[in-house]
Amino acid sequence: MSKKTVRDIAIKGKKVLIRVDFNVPLKDGEISDENRIVEALPTIKYVLEQGGRAIVFSHLGRVKDEADKASNSLKVVAKRLEEHLGQKVTFIPETRGTVLENAISALKDGEVLMFENTRFEDINGKKESKNDPELGKYWASLGDVFVNDAFGTAHRDAASNVGIASNIKQTVAGFLLEKEIKFIGGTLENPQRPFVAILGGAKVSDKIEVIKNLLKISDHVLIGGGMAYTFFKAMGYEIGTSLLEADKVELAKELLELANGKIILGEDVITAKAFDPESEKHVRAIDQIPSDEMGMDIGPRTISKFESYIQEAKTVVWNGPLGVFEFPRFAEGTRSVAYAITEIKDQATTIIGGGDSAAAVIQFGLADGFTHISTGGGASLEYLEGKVLPGIACVDDK
């Protein structure tokens, strides 16, 4: 997939609309994880260095009514961006109107402005999320060119990506979107082999299409986390009080048959009597889980088994934690697999598909050991499913 990037267009003196993904977690009004801001910096800095007039915008959180506005303003994000750039970021607490238009008109080459949360437009009819034609046309009118760098929303057909792209002459990818296309898209199209996919997380239902797509193109699919117990049940094992999607057991059987040996499940698990960080842990073979215990992590034999596949891999794509990593007592499986992947960085392309697995790796301090950590949760999943993402499709082809 060959898409135009910000390098391919003239920028100097132009009003450059930059859609970023600054949907960062906030705790008591403070940013608790700024990774998405940091990842967007190369594109913004490039536009400013080339003499562009940067107009930066994003969504933040869920905005259903007026009461949600106070806790979802991008003002705190604009302040953090200002610190990273080392220059003033003019923040306009509006999503449209004369104040915004005048501020944009006053921008000089190399200056940057951010306007308010695009989802404030969802309060009266989901105009942003449902790609209201008038809103997309209006936002497009504010700039000369459009740079989409928000992979986190690339799976959404919204006014702030597809809507703008439909009403402006040039739409290109920023460096972050380019990276996502290269690593996830490129890897799925032409992986180096052996290609090992690792899937975790809570539910089989969240990853049905991912599993089906990865079974077509990968050599092995290692499955852990809460979703593994539905597969264990499908294999006839008793799983105690472990997480189970009872209505997906038959589907799990079908997937195991379809896999023809490609799906690799664990041999043992770490269990506890309660979903509690202090609960006593036990190592149990998968055919010996007591009726009053639940699976909380993969066990030591499973870790070794998964490591053996990882060590031989030339491509690894991982989506979803393998246990309750938020509880230190039950984080060993996820941590060990993360570490095993960092050990092969020099010989393999290693990609984390966003969401909780990315959060886990960052928490363990292992982020630098991966080729690429995706900034998209839902977008990464849909990309791994092989879907065409609207936020990428709307970017001009080379």
Active-site positions?
A: 36, 203, 355, 378
Nearest Cα residue to 119 out of 66, 175, 78: 66
Backbone angles phi, psi at 115, to 5 degrees: -105, 170
Strand partners, 285: 268
Q: Is 151 helix (H, G, I), strand (E, B) or coil?
A: helix
* C-alpha to C-alpha distances, 196 to 52, 178, 250, 300, 368, nearest whole angstrom: 42, 23, 25, 20, 20
Strand partners, 316: 196, 350
- N residues, the chain: 398
* C-alpha to C-alpha distances, 33 to 22, 244, 295, nearest whole angstrom: 10, 31, 29
Q: Which residues contact 246 (CB under 8 A, 6 or more apart)?
A: 233
Question: Checking phi first, is residue 73 left (phi over 0); if not, alpha (psi -120 to 50) or beta?
Answer: beta
